[in-house]
Structure formats: structure tokens, C-alpha cells
Amino acid sequence: MKKIMLASALLCGSALAMTGCQSTEGQLKTGNPLNQPALKSTLKTTDDSNQEVGQVYLRPVDGGVQVYGKLMNMTPGKTVALHIHETGSCDVMGKAAGGHFNPDNHPHSNPDDMNGHAGDLPNLTANDKGVATINYVNKQISAAQAGKYSVYRRAFIVHAGADDYTSQPAGAAGDRIACGIIEAN
């Protein structure tokens, strides 16, 4: 996770410096008013309790879409997968969300692989209080409300286990424990 964020920051600093690029951390702190989150998702458990676990926001940044937020009530110390799935439904324990968002019909991979699924995201690890955070720039999706790469009205899925970034078609991450439809913010 740390490594991935660092890589994003470096890319930002070098290739895109002309556009006034900031690190992801800097963008979060300054909250550039021109780049407020365009989309938002409230994630809830897929079981009958339908308990809210947190929010994830998406906003356009230089070179991609920043995906950031906080999930609570996770199993402390546990690493789990987070993906964007193609269908905006959380029914049937999250199964109705379908497969990973994959507009270019690529194989599943690690999230930094531009030839993987657009919906691939880094694994999350909950701290000792069961809180997991994400702050990642996805370069293969759009936060617009239409278009081939738009994630509007698609769904975040949290799995019971970690994504191995290799197994097809979804990283062998196990059951779908939480889900949230991506809505306009």
C-alpha cells in the first residue's frame, strides 16, 4: 500500500508537474475546491444486519481518480480485498454486483497494472481498532457520470479475504462481506 502510494506520488511529480500536480496526501490536506469528490459510496455489510461500515469517495485528480475513505468494524489486523464491481446492486449478499469493472476485457491483476481490471484496487488492512483506510489514485477509471470508464452506479465490494492479485477472475478474495453503490456526491 505504502509502496503503491509512493509510486503514484512520484509519477505525479515528474510527468505531470506542469499541471500543478500535488501528491495525493497534499490534495487531501488542501482539499482543492475545484476537485471536490464527484462520487461517493456508503458501504454496508451484505448480511441481514446491513450495518454501515463506512464511506469511500472518488474525485478526479491529475492522472486519474483518487479513491479515498475509511471503513470501520472490520476484523482487526485482517487484510481484505476492495474492488469496483460492474453492477450497481448489492443484492444476494453482494453477488448481484457481478464481476470486477473491466471495460477493456483485461485479466485480473494488481491495481497498478494498466493491463489489469479497471476496478482493481489495493488490499486494505484493518488496524487494531478495526479501521481500514484507502487513499489510492486509480488511473483506469473516470468519476464522470457517463462514459466507458465511468464508475457511476457501479459498486464497491469488500471481500472476506485478501486479493492475491493473480488468481482469475477475481484474486481468490472470497465472500463479499460489504457493498456500496457508487452515487453522485
Summarize as ranges the residues that interact with Cu ion (CB under 5 A).
Answer: 83, 157
Q: Are 28 and 133 in contact (CB under 8 A)?
A: no
Cβ 85 to Cu ion shortest distance, Å: 6
> Which C-beta is closer to Cu ion: that of 134 or that of 157?
157
Cβ 170 to Cu ion shortest distance, Å: 5
CA distances from 113 to 43, 109, 146, 165 (A): 26, 6, 24, 10
Q: How far apart are CA 114 and CA 45, in angstroms?
A: 30
Name the residue with cell 483506469: 140
Cβ 75 to Cu ion shortest distance, Å: 17
Q: Residue 92 contacts by C-beta under 8 Å, 6 or more apart in sequence?
A: none
Cβ 173 to Cu ion shortest distance, Å: 6
> Which C-beta is closer to Cu ion: that of 61 or that of 157?
157
> Which C-beta is closer to Cu ion: that of 137 or that of 158?
158
Q: Residue 50 contacts by C-beta under 8 Å, 6 or more apart in sequence?
A: 44
> Which C-beta is closer to Cu ion: that of 38 or that of 170?
170
Cβ 157 to Cu ion shortest distance, Å: 4
Calculate the CA 98 to chain-centre distance: 16
> Which C-beta is closer to Cu ion: that of 157 or that of 182?
157
Element (H, E) at 55: strand 52-61
Q: Which residue is nearest to Cu ion, using beta carbons?
A: 83
Q: Which three cell numbers stand for residue 111?
A: 491495481
